[in-house]
A and B are shown apart, each in its own frame.
Chain A
Amino acid sequence: MATKSEALRTVLEHLNTIGGIKASAVISADGLPIMSLIPGEIDANTFAAMLASMVGAAEAAIKAIGAKNILERVVAESKDIRVIAVRAGEDAILTIMIDPNVNYGLILLEAKKASDQISIVMKQ
């Protein structure tokens, strides 16, 4: 049987084959990297810590202004890069780095599919 790490890696490997996706990682809601497929020059530990705090802060913010449902995703954009963080179950967050000039809708759809798979793996 595949280990959890292998299962997560498979999900990320599939994501990284989609046009426009540059890197992807699964991090814990507490900011620790769980599995990452990101280029070597980026420090996965720092990336995980920053992204998790972004999601945590966004969650607190949206609750504070009266959101009734849970936070679905956080997007950070600049001209050359876009980062999406999507909840994947209780403990995990899926993060994807993309080129901002590609089909964003398709990538969101794929991200949703992948995050569902990840939340199943994490529960095993």
Chain B
Amino acid sequence: MVDPLFGIAKLDGELGGFPTHKSVIFSASPAVGNEAFGYQIVANNEKDNKILIFLNRTSPPAYFKEMEEFHFPVSKNIFVLDAYSNLTGIESSGSANVIVIKNPNDKEEILRTLGAELEKGYTLVLFDSFSLVVDTFGFDYAISIIAMLREKINKSETAAALLFTDWGYGENERAGLMNLTDAEVVIRGIEKRVIFGQYFGVIKCKWLPGKSFTSTLFKVVKPGGIKIAIPKILVTGPTDAGKSSFIHSASKNAVSVDKLGGTIALDHGSVDFKGYLADLFGTPGQERFDPLLKLLGGDSIGVVLVVDCTKPEQFPRAIEMLRKTETFGLPIVIAANKADLPGALSIDDIKNRLHLNNDVPITATVAEDLSRIDPNQPTKLKKSGVDEVLSTLFRLVIEEDLFK
């Protein structure tokens, strides 16, 4: 077996994957769905792990249909303990991978069947949903289920995820339940000024004592699943440095408002990269469009500053543009473009001349093919450089706390 992962970019980074013998509860406010977290975890682990889903929220066929909408594979490694079908009177499909609870209102049968199943060598267990267990049978019973679960996963190579919807339960009862799990991830909605969306954040992790965590915006996309959302990254820099080229190389669907090769209003592109979903906004470089810069910079949470390595005389303008877009001080990565052209300065030299903090990351980017450059079209940049800029910036951005 291979150690499970969450399959959610930031969560795996922060928690170091999903260790066996551990239980993680996903506690969502009712306005925000948590089901996708379950699909994502299942889909990410079905190849190498034997998975048991305790399902009392919907029927197995409906569950698998939802997974297919995300284009997630439904394989023979996924087993379902069906505690739903017999409530509706519709017979469960009874396939080999579905274990049916005859009377889903019988708490003894659930405890017994679940206990027996947990002996069968599953490496990942998912409860969808655990709050329904609480709603149906009360907190005492839910606690006895967790206690049993903990005992079983301690003995075997198993990790457990519990999906929980926070229906305003009593504070003490809720805390009692959460304390029994090894980690707690909260999922909430945010409506702060113009940022409307959903976020998640780890609020407790017993296997990483003392570590602090930050919250992150996410989006659920079909197909694809859970992506870390970065609503606005500003790409700025002097004329002809390669801002549009960067955006067109980083995203598949970039749109530019340009005339004769120069951007006159903006470039926009969406990037889907390593579990992150980001929108890139590119500014024009020429001074006569400066009145637009403030508008384009508003609400950005990170900046790519593109400079032309062969034109140090433009560097003061580059810094000035950070001020004009009011993005000075945000997480920033420098893309030192045209680094392979004759007369290009070295990375250290560029750093010195830009007078930025020493810890500002700087990455060389170059055109994919110098012979195919059309001055009236964005140039395709080499993927390695673009990817390095993006991954460095995404790392910086998600380290910033959303609510600081």
Residues of A within 8 A of B (CB): 3-5, 28-32, 34-35, 43, 45-46, 49-50, 52-54, 56-57, 60, 64, 91-92, 122
Contacts and interface: CB of A to CB of B under 8 A. Distances in A.
A30 B265 contact: no
A49 B269 CA distance: 10
B396 to A, nearest CB: 20
Given A32-B232, A49-B279, 17 more contacts: A3-B31, A5-B191, A5-B196, A28-B299, A29-B194, A29-B295, A30-B296, A31-B281, A32-B231, A34-B194, A45-B270, A46-B270, A49-B266, A50-B255, A50-B257, A52-B295, A122-B194
Given A34-B196, A46-B253, A49-B281, A60 B292 contact: yes
Nearest to B283: A53
A115 to B, nearest CB: 15
A104 B295 CA distance: 29
Nearest to B270: A45
A55 to B, nearest CB: 9
A46 B194 contact: no
Contacts of A53: 257, 265-266, 292, 295-296
The 9 lowest CB-CB distance pairs between A and B, nearest first, are A30-B298, A28-B194, A56-B295, A49-B268, A60-B291, A30-B299, A4-B191, A53-B266, A53-B265
B275 interface: no
Interface in B1-59: 31
A57 B291 CA distance: 8
Nearest to A64: B291
Contact of A3 (B191, B232, B281, B298): B191
A120 B234 CA distance: 29
B268 A30 contact: no
A85 B232 CA distance: 21
Interface residues of B, number: 25
A50 to B, nearest CB: 7
Contacts of B195: 32
B372 interface: no
Nearest to A63: B291
B193 interface: yes
B299 A32 contact: yes
A46 B269 CA distance: 7
Contact of B265 (A29, A35, A57): A57
15 contacts: A3-B191, A4-B191, A5-B189, A30-B295, A31-B268, A32-B195, A34-B196, A49-B266, A53-B292, A53-B296, A57-B265, A91-B193, A91-B194, A92-B194, A122-B194
Interface of B: 31, 189, 191, 193-196, 231-232, 253, 255, 257, 265-266, 268, 270, 279, 281, 291-292, 295-299
B232 A30 contact: yes
A119 to B, nearest CB: 13
B270 to A, nearest CB: 6
Contact of A4 (B196, B296, B298): B196
A64 B292 CA distance: 12
B268 A46 contact: yes
Contacts of A49: 255, 266, 268, 279, 281
Contacts of B196: 4-5, 34-35
Nearest to B282: A49
A43 B291 CA distance: 26
A56 B293 CA distance: 10
Contacts of A28: 194, 298-299
Contacts of A3: 31, 189, 191
A45 B191 contact: no
Contacts of B298: 28-30
A122 B298 CA distance: 17
Nearest to B293: A56
A29 B292 CA distance: 12
A41 B299 CA distance: 26
A60 B292 CA distance: 8
B368 to A, nearest CB: 24
